[in-house]
Amino acid sequence: MPEMTYREALRAGMAEEMERDEKVLLMGEDIGVYGGTHLITDGFLDRFGKKRVIDTPIAEGGFTGAAIGMAMMGLKPVVEMMTWNFSFLAADQIIQNAAKVRYFSGGQVEVPLVIRGPNGGGVQLSAQHTHSLENMYGHFPGLKVVSPVTPNDAKGMMLTAIRDPNPVIFLEAGALYGTKGEVPEGDNAVEFGKARVAREGTDVTLISYGRQVNLCLRVAEKLEEEDDVSAEVIDLRSLRPFDSETIVESVKKTHRAVAVQEQWRWFGVASEVASIIQEQAFDYLDAPVVRVSGAEVPAPYARNLELAAFPSEDAVAKAARQVLYQEVSA
Amino acid sequence: MPEMTYREALRAGMAEEMERDEKVLLMGEDIGVYGGTHLITDGFLDRFGKKRVIDTPIAEGGFTGAAIGMAMMGLKPVVEMMTWNFSFLAADQIIQNAAKVRYFSGGQVEVPLVIRGPNGGGVQLSAQHTHSLENMYGHFPGLKVVSPVTPNDAKGMMLTAIRDPNPVIFLEAGALYGTKGEVPEGDNAVEFGKARVAREGTDVTLISYGRQVNLCLRVAEKLEEEDDVSAEVIDLRSLRPFDSETIVESVKKTHRAVAVQEQWRWFGVASEVASIIQEQAFDYLDAPVVRVSGAEVPAPYARNLELAAFPSEDAVAKAARQVLYQEVSA
Amino acid sequence: MVPAESEHTGDGAVETQEQQQGGGSPVATDGEHLVDLYKKMVLIRTFEEATQRGFRQGKIGGYLHVYIGQEAVATGFLDAYKDGDKVITAYRDHPHVLLLGSDPKAVMAELYGKGTGLVKGKGGSMHLFDVENGFMGGYGIVGGHIPLGVGFAYAQRYEETDNITQLYLGDGSISNGAFHEAVNLSGLWGKDGMNPCLFIIENNQYGMGTSVERTTAMTDLAAKFNAYGVENEKVDGMDVEAVLEVAHRAADRVRETGKPYAVEALTYRTAPHGAADFFEKYRTKDEIKQWRERDPIGQLEHRLIERDVIDEDGIEEIKNEMKETMKEVVRFAEESEEPPLEELYTDVYTGGGVYTGEEG
Amino acid sequence: MVPAESEHTGDGAVETQEQQQGGGSPVATDGEHLVDLYKKMVLIRTFEEATQRGFRQGKIGGYLHVYIGQEAVATGFLDAYKDGDKVITAYRDHPHVLLLGSDPKAVMAELYGKGTGLVKGKGGSMHLFDVENGFMGGYGIVGGHIPLGVGFAYAQRYEETDNITQLYLGDGSISNGAFHEAVNLSGLWGKDGMNPCLFIIENNQYGMGTSVERTTAMTDLAAKFNAYGVENEKVDGMDVEAVLEVAHRAADRVRETGKPYAVEALTYRTAPHGAADFFEKYRTKDEIKQWRERDPIGQLEHRLIERDVIDEDGIEEIKNEMKETMKEVVRFAEESEEPPLEELYTDVYTGGGVYTGEEG
Ligand SMILES: Cc1ncc(C[n+]2csc(CCOP(=O)(O)OP(=O)(O)O)c2C)c(N)n1
Ligand SMILES: Cc1ncc(C[n+]2csc(CCOP(=O)(O)OP(=O)(O)O)c2C)c(N)n1
Ligand SMILES: [Mg+2]
Ligand SMILES: [Mg+2]
């Protein structure tokens, strides 16, 4: 199977849908002439023209709102949020209009909109440029929220997102744009709401999404080597809709779970995961679900502090050992 | 002890602090000439003058940001968000500046700011005017988030909020402005981060905050009468900081818990509550924690639909019976 | 804020002005047309009065914002509506949807929270919608709808139609960032003929209790559009004939050029801001009285009679007819059923799905 | 975007203009003062070049935005700084903090992510802060800092001082809603003398890769302030003497009136947007070259020599001195320790508290 980077996969997904469907257009800051800050849309302006590749001023609320309007008219805008950190400026449009207009119009309109861009930190961008907003957007009915981590899913979920008649919050693992993976030729659309078992195992379930999945995979290797523990790793991929079944089934098998997220702990995805597991697999649980989250501080700049602010292999391994009762709880 | 309404309690808290401390000032839409949409600040303009009671244009981001700037200069602004539904327009200012500027300035400034206003629904305001945003704001380090439900707490927490050198998100139970309760004369400042046991009980713990506390109290009565069950009701009051200890202690006693919230289920406060309980009281739990939340839809207008969208006495009673194994789980 | 002298007070003034401006499109100001507009304004007024009663009786919940005093604005502008055009406004949205042809019964039933309502009881007064008739909604977040309308206009040209968007906004929304960002986009896209958006500022001089001069140091709202390269003008929004003239001229121009245009209509709501605005401390009785004297319905009535287009009896008849109609409308709303409970969970996502977490 | 003809090209032009305008405050344009400003600009330039090297070596992380080409703007305006004034800007913030007197070592150490950094390694290049010296921060969200500055200005008058706020903003931020809302508030509060805010638009003609005319149909950025009742003018931002004149005059005026004022400084960043802007497809080499010819340091150098204030050796000496200083600065940054890990958890809340949930 051909290999491509996460970046190329996103690009392929968008380009193929644009070729297929004239209603698809792109909007965002510096996506055209500049080629995209992350070079995702490099070459698109030449290929698809100015009408379909719109460079916008720095007005996240305005252009996201305009895109919602276009979507209500039947176009299929794909908006680049240069980074999700800027989306607070568009939060009103996303939450009050995109998520709700179908409902409060009594079903008279739909909003086939994708908003995409890098989410999460890891490159010393410090406090204002480091957020993981899956729980924030995932809270609101009317939105779908997805977070692919492999190039295959990056392309396959992009196809699904663009074809979806609902607004999709597409959270890219910004730190992984350059990573490679196999992506089949042609239409590899990935259904929303199905988690992916990234690694099978029997002793403990590590549940995550976004770039933390890779961390969990590394920890799983380590646990195998160092402790002879077989860890299952689940990549949630889609936060809304959410695949409770896959995690519950896994925990029924392993009886132990660790939920890992880059975002802050309070009211985060890991809390939901722990909640669901205790609700739906109570009698199967041999230990409380442990959560590993980002440090409860705005992201710091200095490299050493930043590293300490994100979940580490050690922290996840420690949590796994804790649910396996190999390590005393904190 | 004298009685006053929730509205009067808020007003008293603000007025007393304004008298005591010249640095305190108010800002918001229609808080002056109009007297406040909810009449909380009625009379303040005449009493404190235009410099300290600022009527603003409809520019939530701008005036919230300006208030943050004032706070960084040592003033103590109390901003009225006419309703929290409009705060998405100020989300960038609240989350990117208020919450973080202390951190990214290396501690060089502080932000003694209160943002207050009604939160939650219940009066048919429909989709765009019905939100409970405690989880959204509670997620971000640097903010404090509180949610008083009694007039005593409304005043006491207002005093604490204004005196706090940090930004405080003050979520009022808008539907309860007219409800009465006892409030002692003088300084009744209520410490943040301590939950309140609203009713003692031994068989099951109902955990909530905001106007849902009253619902839980009604259900507790009902359970007592109909099932001879003794329910403890905990009012969280403060979501950040959060009082894990009180809920964990209660569950260690009752072995069963229901978490009730008006907000949507996903990534909400109840998920955090369930998560904490399974983490810290795993061996004491006789049943999974059950969550009762708002229906996963934008708020509808029609009265019957709206009622069905919020947690009901029946739903909470059913959840309580479920954790008591008196009712088969759904 | 006392009323400015109208430029169109005497008979025939409109014709004169049209001639002077050599106005593009033929605005039919013949008697029949004016009577038709008159009827429309009476419909709106009668409808709004009925909603106020419904609110006081507790039959309408939530917020209720009526258009009383402002009728000439939407009535005049929507006269320039063409099939396929789109219209969007904020929460003071009853007149727009009625003028576009929605059944008053369905609109009233919506306010009564009934299943027969225009949006099935889901939206209420602030969120009327009638996509078939070009009405793309009423919105509750001040300023929040402006970007959407600019998006509609882009889509209209993307699809190569000659349709336009009529975007209504209040004076209060002008201080909001959404206004700035969206109008700037509109001006920018208009350079390429990609934004046929007609901005109509319903300047009723107050945003809730705050007068325009307490929201900005520069109170010429039309001129604010200069900052975005959007041409603009003002009109006396109490005079439906004046509005009519501008409306057609502006709409034609927008349709032709694909560039936005803005009109500030100076008007006044003689009713309170919302049905729960009791004290109106922010304005004097006298001010209201002065504006009532320029009531758009009263003005037109007077002219129609003076011009012998209709007599007092004819006027009476129209009003009575409308009252009768409104009784029917209210009866329909009252007698309709609440929406079925299943409706709570529909229309969240296209293709279904609610994600309660209990499906899995 | 080729450079406009400077109005201040010849010798003495500045003096002439000052006389013409009858300029309020005495702007010392004597030789010593100009040499001092020259040194400051060389400091900034040398500092920025060192940061670029540090970034390429991987010693500086995150984003890095340098001020190369724009030095005259901040240097000129901050000459009008008075004790107690406040200064705020976006992420292109190195020059401002240096000009206000922060130790270049602490600034460089911050960029190197060290514990000796100006904000202890917590903020990095975008978030410099030096409250003691009046620098209220660099901010990373375009437009997001503008409301804060307007708040500072209000507080300055609330406390009855005669201080002012210098608020720097980029051309790119003007399309943002935060700009609109905040400047409108400033104009409104200024009516009561409650907003001594001097807005300084650093119009370097691009927001990242987007030129001003691709962001708005109305490209006169100073004139945008008219929409808020804020008086304004433009200045050649490549000419420090021109800037100096406006700076003092504008600052005095703001200080006296408590009303805001805006100055658009036309300038150019001859460096890329950020250290990772490799291709610069959005502009031509030729354009950059033309602007380099108007380099603010080069221009002043030329004038100082022509006016016999200093000779080429003197210039050489200043530059060499600065290079030596910068070596020290970089050495300090390199040799400093990373912040201690405990710092991760400080400064979240005043009074402490982290709320990990593990306290309870
Ligand atoms: C963003 C936002 N802030 C505040 C409100 C509350 N509010 C509702 S209507 C209104 C006044 C709006 O005035 P204007 O735009 O002039 O419209 P009008 O009511 O006069 O038609 C306000 C402040 C809101 N709905 N949205
Ligand atoms: C709200 C927001 N959107 C996008 C960005 C990404 N971004 C960083 S700098 C920049 C360009 C800003 O241009 P300008 O205001 O002209 O300042 P300059 O860089 O030219 O000094 C952009 C788009 C951001 N930081 N914040
Ligand atoms: Mg108004
Ligand atoms: Mg710029």
The length of chain C is 360
Question: Do A211 and A119 sit in the same domain of this protein?
Answer: no
CATH assignment of the domain containing B76: 3.40.50.970
pLDDT at D184: 98
What is the pLDDT confidence band of residue B328, given thresholds at 50, 70 and 90?
Answer: low
pLDDT tens digit string along D270-323? 999 987 788 889 999 999 999 999 999 999 999 999 999 999 999 999 999 999
The answer on pLDDT for B44 being more than 80 is yes
What is the pLDDT confidence band of residue C358, given thresholds at 50, 70 and 90?
Answer: low
Burial B178-217 (b: 16+ CB within 10 A, else e): ebebebeeeebbbebbebbebbebebbbbbbbbbbbbbbb
Catalytic residue among B60, B80, B262, B272: B60
Cβ neighbours for C233, distance < 8 A, ≥ 6 positions apart: C222, C246, C250, C262, C263, C264
pLDDT at D27: 53
Is B282 exposed, middle or buried (CB count within 10 Å of its CB: 0-12, 13-18, 19+)? middle
| D91 in B contact zone (CB under 8 Å) | no
pLDDT at A264: 98
Distance from C-alpha of A194 to C-alpha of A242, rounded to nearest angstrom: 7
The answer on pLDDT for C18 being more than 50 is no
Nearest partner of B122 among B293, B264, B267, B311, judged by Cα = B311
How far is the centre of ligand 2, averaged over its atoms, from the C-alpha of D172 (Å)? 6
Q: Is the CB–ligand 1 distance for residue C267 below 6 Å? A: no
The answer on pLDDT for D359 being more than 90 is no
**For chain C, first and last CA: distance in Å?**
61
Across the interface, do D228 and C216 touch by the CB < 8 Å criterion? Answer: yes
Question: Do A38 and A160 sit in the same domain of this protein?
Answer: yes
Distance from C-alpha of C68 to C-alpha of C95, rounded to nearest angstrom: 10
Across the interface, do A275 and B279 touch by the CB < 8 Å criterion? Answer: no
Cβ neighbours for D98, distance < 8 A, ≥ 6 positions apart: D40, D43, D44, D47, D104, D107
Q: Which residues of B touch C209 (CB under 8 A)?
A: 30, 33-34
Question: Do B175 and B206 sit in the same domain of this protein?
Answer: no
Q: Is the CB–ligand 1 distance for residue B125 below 6 Å? A: no
How far is the centre of ligand 2, averaged over its atoms, from the C-alpha of C248 (Å)? 41
The answer on pLDDT for B329 being more than 80 is no
* Range in B13-22, B229-238, D22-31, D300-309 the model is least confident about: D22-31
Q: Write out chain A's pLDDT in tens, 330 residues.
A: 899 999 999 999 999 999 999 999 999 999 999 999 999 999 999 999 999 999 999 999 999 999 999 999 999 999 999 999 999 999 999 999 999 999 999 999 999 999 999 999 999 999 999 999 999 999 999 999 999 999 999 999 999 999 999 999 999 999 999 999 999 999 999 999 999 999 999 999 999 999 999 999 999 999 999 999 999 999 999 999 999 999 999 999 999 999 999 999 999 999 999 999 999 999 999 999 999 999 999 999 999 999 999 999 999 999 999 999 986 544
From the CA of D41, how many Å to the nearest CA of chain A? 27
Across the interface, do C177 and B301 touch by the CB < 8 Å criterion? Answer: no
Asked whether the beta carbons of A268 and B278 are under 8 A apart, the reply is: no
Q: Which of B182, B215, B238 is the last residue of a domain?
A: B182
- Ligand 1, residues C1, C180, C208, C267: which to mutate, most atoms within 8 A of Cβ? C208
Specify the residue for token string 């190195």: D94
Q: Which of D146, D173, D184 to probe by mutation at the C interface, max C CB count within 10 Å? A: D184
Q: Which residues of B touch A268 (CB under 8 A)?
A: 139, 267
How far is the centre of ligand 4, averaged over its atoms, from the C-alpha of D174 (Å)? 10
Asked whether the beta carbons of B171 and B134 are under 8 A apart, the reply is: yes
What would the DSSP string read from start to end of D253-296?
A: HHHHH---EEEEEE----S-SSTT----TTS-HHHHHHHHTT-H
Distance from C-alpha of A264 to C-alpha of B2, rounded to nearest angstrom: 42
Structure tokens at C74: 């939407």
Q: Which of A182, A209, A239 is the last residue of a domain?
A: A182
Distance from C-alpha of B119 to C-alpha of B116, rounded to nearest angstrom: 9
Distances in Å between the Cα of B264 and the Cα atoms of A272, B299, C274 are: 12, 10, 29
How far is the centre of ligand 1, averaged over its atoms, from the C-alpha of C43 (Å)? 25
Residue B153 belongs to domain spanning: 3-182
Specify the residue for token string 């106020």: C52
SS3 breakdown of chain D: % helix, strand, coil, rounded to 5? 50, 10, 40
Asked whether the beta carbons of A49 and A42 are under 8 A apart, the reply is: no
Distance from C-alpha of C88 to C-alpha of C129, rounded to nearest angstrom: 9
Distances in Å between the Cα of C170 and the Cα atoms of C137, C205, C296 are: 15, 9, 18
Measured from the Cα of B129, ligand 1's closest atom is 25
Q: Is the CB–ligand 1 distance for residue C142 below 6 Å? A: yes
pLDDT tens digit string along C205-247? 999 999 999 999 999 999 999 999 999 999 999 999 999 999 9
Structure tokens at C46: 């009668």
Specify the residue for token string 């936060």: A239
Distances in Å between the Cα of C137 and the Cα atoms of B89, D125, D232 are: 20, 45, 39
Residue B129 is among the residues annotated as catalytic for this protein: yes
* C174 alpha carbon, closest ligand: 1
Question: Do A175 and A203 sit in the same domain of this protein?
Answer: no
Nearest partner of D197 among D243, D250, D236, judged by Cα = D250
Distance from C-alpha of B24 to C-alpha of B11, rounded to nearest angstrom: 14
Distance from C-alpha of B9 to C-alpha of B156, rounded to nearest angstrom: 8
Question: Do A19 and A148 sit in the same domain of this protein?
Answer: yes
Nearest partner of B166 among B127, B112, B125, B204, judged by Cα = B112
From the CA of B303, how many Å to the nearest CA of chain C? 7
Other CB atoms within 10 Å distance of the CB of residue C331: 12
Is D191 exposed, middle or buried (CB count within 10 Å of its CB: 0-12, 13-18, 19+)? middle
Asked whether the beta carbons of A97 and A68 are under 8 A apart, the reply is: yes
Across the interface, do B51 and D148 touch by the CB < 8 Å criterion? Answer: no
Across the interface, do A274 and B269 touch by the CB < 8 Å criterion? Answer: no
| A67 in C contact zone (CB under 8 Å) | yes
For the domain spanning D12-17+27-337, the CATH number is: 3.40.50.970
Q: What percentage of chain B exceeds 90 in pLDDT?
A: 98
Cβ neighbours for D65, distance < 8 A, ≥ 6 positions apart: D91, D92, D125, D126, D273, D274, D275
Distances in Å between the Cα of A8 and the Cα atoms of A136, A209, B266 are: 28, 20, 32
- Residue B245's region, left for phi above 0, alpha for psi from -120 to 50, else beta, is alpha
Structure tokens at A26: 């792109």
User: Rounded to the nearest 5°, which phi and psi values hold at D6?
Assistant: -70, 145
By Cβ distance, the residue of C62, C139, C216 closest to B301 is C62
In this structure, is the dihedral angle defined by the CA atoms of residues D92, D93, D99 and D102, taken in order, positive or negative? Answer: negative
Distance from C-alpha of C54 to C-alpha of C74, rounded to nearest angstrom: 23
Distance from C-alpha of D8 to C-alpha of D236, rounded to nearest angstrom: 8
Q: Which of A158, A182, A206 is the last residue of a domain?
A: A182
Question: Do A177 and A232 sit in the same domain of this protein?
Answer: no
Query: Is B220 domain-assigned?
Result: yes
pLDDT at C9: 35
Residue window 22-61, chain B: list those with CB within 8 Å of chain D.
Answer: 25, 50-51, 56-57, 59, 61
Q: Is the CB–ligand 1 distance for residue B1 below 6 Å? A: no
β-sheet bridge partners, residue B293: none
Distance from C-alpha of D114 to C-alpha of D130, rounded to nearest angstrom: 16
Catalytic residue among A16, A110, A129, A139: A129
Asked whether the beta carbons of A290 and A258 are under 8 A apart, the reply is: yes
* pLDDT average, residue stretch B250-260: 98
Across the interface, do A91 and B92 touch by the CB < 8 Å criterion? Answer: yes
Cβ neighbours for B134, distance < 8 A, ≥ 6 positions apart: B119, B145, B147, B171, B209, B210, B239, B263, B269
By Cβ distance, the residue of A138, A282, A297 closest to B267 is A138
* pLDDT average, residue stretch D94-108: 98
Across the interface, do A297 and D348 touch by the CB < 8 Å criterion? Answer: yes
Query: Is B189 domain-assigned?
Result: no
Across the interface, do A275 and B298 touch by the CB < 8 Å criterion? Answer: no
User: In whole angstroms, how large is the CA radius of gyration of chain D?
Assistant: 20
CATH assignment of the domain containing A295: 3.40.50.920
Question: Do A10 and A150 sit in the same domain of this protein?
Answer: yes
pLDDT tens digit string along A113-148? 999 999 999 999 999 999 999 999 999 999 999 999
Q: What percentage of chain C exceeds 90 in pLDDT?
A: 88
Asked whether the beta carbons of A41 and A14 are under 8 A apart, the reply is: yes
Distance from C-alpha of B250 to C-alpha of B261, rounded to nearest angstrom: 18
pLDDT at B327: 67
Other CB atoms within 10 Å distance of the CB of residue D5: 7
Q: Is the CB–ligand 1 distance for residue C266 below 6 Å? A: no
Nearest partner of A96 among C136, B307, C127, B129, judged by Cα = B129
pLDDT at D358: 60
| B243 in D contact zone (CB under 8 Å) | yes
Q: Is the CB–ligand 1 distance for residue C140 below 6 Å? A: yes
Question: Do A92 and A147 sit in the same domain of this protein?
Answer: yes
Specify the residue for token string 């709501």: C269
| B268 in A contact zone (CB under 8 Å) | yes
Asked whether the beta carbons of D199 and D225 are under 8 A apart, the reply is: yes
Distance from C-alpha of B253 to C-alpha of B272, rounded to nearest angstrom: 20
Nearest partner of C228 among C182, C164, C175, judged by Cα = C182
Query: Is A34 domain-assigned?
Result: yes
The chain-wide mean pLDDT, for chain C, equals 92
Residue A60 is among the residues annotated as catalytic for this protein: yes
Across the interface, do A301 and D207 touch by the CB < 8 Å criterion? Answer: no
Structure tokens at C53: 């009663």
Question: Do B91 and B208 sit in the same domain of this protein?
Answer: no
Name the pairing type of β-strands B196-199 and B204-208. Answer: unpaired
Nearest partner of D174 among D210, D142, D149, judged by Cα = D142
Please report, as a single letter, which amino acid is at residue D203.
Answer: N
Nearest partner of C163 among C69, C81, C107, judged by Cα = C81
| A102 in C contact zone (CB under 8 Å) | yes
Q: How many alpha carbons fall within 13 Å on the CB side of residue C192?
A: 15
From the CA of A325, how many Å to the nearest CA of chain D? 19
pLDDT tens digit string along B257-301? 999 999 999 999 999 999 999 999 999 999 999 999 999 999 999
Asked whether the beta carbons of D266 and D72 are under 8 A apart, the reply is: no
Measured from the Cα of D63, ligand 2's closest atom is 8
From the CA of D130, how many Å to the nearest CA of chain B? 8
Measured from the Cα of D273, ligand 2's closest atom is 19
Distance from C-alpha of D64 to C-alpha of D42, rounded to nearest angstrom: 19
Cβ neighbours for A148, distance < 8 A, ≥ 6 positions apart: A154, A156, A157, A158, A172, A173, A190, A237
The answer on pLDDT for D1 being more than 90 is no
Residues whose beta carbon lies within 6 Å of some atom of ligand 2 = A 29, 58, 60, 82, 86, 89; D 65, 92, 140-142, 170-173, 202, 204, 206-208, 273
pLDDT at B326: 85
How far is the centre of ligand 3, averaged over its atoms, from the C-alpha of C172 (Å)? 5
Asked whether the beta carbons of D161 and D84 are under 8 A apart, the reply is: yes
Question: Do B29 and B178 sit in the same domain of this protein?
Answer: yes
* pLDDT average, residue stretch B43-59: 98
Nearest chain A residue to B95, by CA: A88
Nearest partner of C162 among C245, C262, C251, judged by Cα = C251
How far is the centre of ligand 2, averaged over its atoms, from the C-alpha of C183 (Å)? 20
Query: Is A286 domain-assigned?
Result: yes
What is the pLDDT confidence band of residue D29, given thresholds at 50, 70 and 90?
Answer: low
pLDDT at A254: 98
pTM of the model: 0.96
- Number of structural domains, chain A? 2
What ipTM does the predicted assembly reach?
0.96
Question: Do A38 and A125 sit in the same domain of this protein?
Answer: yes
Query: Is A188 domain-assigned?
Result: no
Query: Is A187 domain-assigned?
Result: no
Structure tokens at C229: 């390269």
